[in-house]
Amino acid sequence: AQSVTQLDSQVPVFEEAPVELRCNYSSSVSVYLFWYVQYPNQGLQLLLKYLSGSTLVESINGFEAEFNKSQTSFHLRKPSVHISDTAEYFCAVSDSLASYGKLTFGQGTILTVHP
Amino acid sequence: NAGVTQTPKFQVLKTGQSMTLQCAQDMNHEYMSWYRQDPGMGLRLIHYSVGAGITDQGEVPNGYNVSRSTTEDFPLRLLSAAPSQTSVYFCASRIRQGSGYTFGSGTRLTVV
């Protein structure tokens, strides 16, 4: 069985400051890792994913995440946030070897960017 | 518009009533799933399907039924609504293992 722990339920930050949203996972098998973003009253949108290869993955809007196998982490970072980044962020994991690969989500981190 | 369409967006039910949440996708995705979202608990998998005619239970299947007669549609049925089923329900689809899910905009259900 897999599990995901997002270490912060809420992260307040000022505009243009850096931010890190922390995610740790537990799994006995090889995994795929994902970050999703949910804006108010909307569905989730895929932000970025790690399947294999380079451990640093980037999104089109400046976020990046690094897969650290030894620490079983997949923290999300952005060097300078904008007001528009205010949203809830979910880390998720799936078994890369399973035919279906159920997606297990963390509890979510609410990022609030203040002017 | 390509994507995942969920109806209705809002619904209030009385305890014991039944209803069907509709989900349709036009991307020819084989994999479809239903999740419920509750505050502080993330999203939990209710049921999923890997193709027409094939469904399986997720983490929290009790009180829900699904069927997949076509690739496009994946309805979720609440058999006898209970207050514990008050939640936001999301349908999602993806093309293959490892690809990201496309989510619908959700159905906010209140059971009184």
Question: Which of B40, B48, B104 has the CB atom closest to A100's CB atom?
Answer: B48
- Mean pLDDT across chain A: 92
Q: How confident is the model at residue B100 (pLDDT cuts 50, 70, 90)?
A: confident
Distance from CA of A68 to the nearest CA of B (A): 18
Question: Which of A9, A90, A101 has the CB atom closest to B43's CB atom?
Answer: A90
As a whole number, mean pLDDT of residues A12-17 equals 98
CB pairs under 8 A between A and B: 62
Over 80: is that where the pLDDT of B97 sits? no
Cβ <8 Å between B42 and A44:
no
Burial class (CB in 10 A: 0-12, 13-18, 19+), B70: exposed
Amino acid at A110: I
Specify the length of chain A in residues.
115
Q: How confident is the model at residue B1 (pLDDT cuts 50, 70, 90)?
A: low
As a whole number, mean pLDDT of residues B20-49 equals 94
A4: Cβ contacts below 8 Å, ≥ 6 apart: A23, A24, A25, A26, A91, A92, A93, A104, A105, A106, B42
Over 90: is that where the pLDDT of B39 sits? no
Distance from CA of B99 to the nearest CA of A (A): 9
Amino acid at B109: L
Confidence (pLDDT) at B3: 93
Over 90: is that where the pLDDT of A29 sits? no
Could you tell me where the beta strands, DSSP code E, fall in A2-114? 3-6, 10-14, 19-21, 23-26, 31-38, 44-50, 56-58, 64-68, 73-78, 87-95, 104-105, 109-114
Confidence (pLDDT) at A99: 65
Q: How confident is the model at residue A78 (pLDDT cuts 50, 70, 90)?
A: very high
Distance CA B87, CA B109 (A): 6
Question: Which of B31, B43, B105 has the CB atom closest to A105's CB atom?
Answer: B43
pLDDT (tens digit, 9 = 90+) per residue, A90-115? 999 988 777 677 889 999 999 999 99
